């Protein structure tokens, strides 16, 4: 990481306090929003370290999974942890029907213990790291997660009112950087990618509330999610810039003539 102190300030921590890596994980997950505004407006996502820090730290923007988790990885490596990124497939069902569209981290701490870390899942990421592999149920601010083994994959699941649901599955094998770059390029440029044709922004509050807006079908949905349920409203497209500014601390956007979000002129 090029400016570790600036990153800590971005996520509300003080370098003088020497926060633990678990504290850094939670602070990142509850400070930097998830958003796909660049790919939505036709700008490919750079995973270069300079660009990640410029965008998410200096410019106080958000990002999607590749950006979030590579930024976190660089911070954890900065304090001496071993971090291995792995590509995952979102949702459940046959693996061959889902692209490798998510990134998750395996972190090895100073005592040799391995952890599952992820601050970049848009619809309900982990707030805290959990032990690596199948290890029972882990409750975080009212949300429950567990990892199960299915064939060669590990699958992260979360508990919803209707029961356990697959979040994503992945082979527990570190991904080469070139494979991460290829997956990122597909997700941020392919017209079939939801991060190109759609729009999403989300924010995790420390108390477990999740605020989300999305538009993947021409209708803007706004949600406040909690372990007890979901409150959902439909919003006019004209409300997107104000929603981004007020709920996600993402000011400076407007709607262009094509109805897509762009930087304010």
Catalytic residue among 28, 40, 65, 215: 65
Mean pLDDT of the chain: 95
CA 35/CA 213 separation, integer angstroms: 10
Catalytic residue among 25, 68, 116, 118: 118
Q: What is the pLDDT of residue 258?
A: 85
Determine the average pLDDT of the residues in 137-158: 96
Residue 163 tokens, joined: 């029961």
Question: Where do we find the tokens 């509050």?
Answer: 205
Q: What is the pLDDT of residue 130?
A: 98
Cβ-contact 204, 210 below 8 angstroms: yes
Sign of CA dihedral 248, 250, 256, 260: negative
Residue 1 tokens, joined: 């990481």
102 is catalytic: yes
Q: What confidence tens digit (pLDDT) does each residue in 122-135 have?
A: 999 999 999 999 99
Determine the average pLDDT of the residues in 221-248: 94
Sign of CA dihedral 253, 188, 185, 87: positive
113 is catalytic: no
Residue 36 sits in a domain whose CATH number is 3.30.2140.20
Number of structural domains found in the chain: 1
Size (the chain), residues: 265
Q: Residue 93: which pLDDT band, with cuts at 50, 70 and 90?
A: confident
Give the domain range for residue 142.
4-263
Q: What is the pLDDT of residue 193?
A: 96
CA 12/CA 25 separation, integer angstroms: 12
Determine the average pLDDT of the residues in 74-96: 93
Q: How many CB atoms lie within 10 A of CB 54?
A: 14
Q: What is the pLDDT of residue 101?
A: 96
Catalytic residue among 102, 116, 188, 215: 102
Sign of CA dihedral 186, 189, 193, 199: positive
Q: What is the pLDDT of residue 161?
A: 83
Residue 154 tokens, joined: 């590990």
Q: What confidence tens digit (pLDDT) does each residue in 25-61 have?
A: 999 999 999 999 999 999 999 999 999 999 999 999 9
Task: Please give the backbone phi and psi of residue 200, each rounded to the nearest 5 degrees, phi first.
Answer: -150, 140
Identify the residue with better confidence: 256 or 34: 34
Q: Residue 265: which pLDDT band, with cuts at 50, 70 and 90?
A: confident
Q: Residue 239: which pLDDT band, with cuts at 50, 70 and 90?
A: very high
Residue 103 has pLDDT above 90, yes or no: yes
């Amino acid at each position: 990481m090029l400016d570790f102190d600036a990153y800590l300030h971005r996520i509300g921590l003080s370098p003088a306090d020497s926060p633990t890596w678990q504290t850094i994980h939670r602070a990142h997950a509850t400070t930097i929003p998830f958003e796909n505004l660049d790919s939505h407006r036709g700008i490919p996502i750079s995973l270069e370290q300079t660009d990640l820090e410029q965008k998410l730290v200096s410019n106080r923007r958000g990002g999607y999974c590749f950006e979030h988790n590579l930024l976190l990885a660089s911070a954890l490596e900065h304090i001496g942890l071993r971090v291995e990124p792995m590509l995952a497939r979102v949702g459940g069902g046959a693996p061959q029907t889902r692209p490798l569209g998510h990134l998750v981290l395996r972190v090895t701490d100073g005592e040799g213990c391995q952890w599952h870390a992820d601050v970049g899942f848009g619809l309900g990421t982990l707030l805290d790291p959990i032990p690596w592999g199948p290890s029972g149920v882990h409750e975080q601010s009212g949300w429950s997660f567990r990892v199960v083994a299915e064939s060669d994959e590990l699958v992260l699941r979360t508990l919803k009112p209707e029961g356990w649901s697959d979040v994503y599955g992945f082979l527990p094998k570190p991904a080469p950087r070139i494979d991460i770059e290829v997956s990122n390029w597909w997700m941020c440029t392919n017209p079939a990618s939801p991060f190109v044709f759609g729009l999403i922004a989300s924010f995790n509050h420390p108390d477990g509330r999740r605020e989300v807006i999305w538009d993947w079908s021409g209708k803007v949905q706004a949600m406040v999610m909690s372990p007890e349920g979901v409150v959902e409203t439909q919003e006019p497209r004209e409300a997107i810039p104000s929603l981004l500014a007020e709920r996600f601390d993402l000011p400076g956007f407007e709607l262009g003539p094509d109805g897509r979000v762009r930087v304010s002129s």
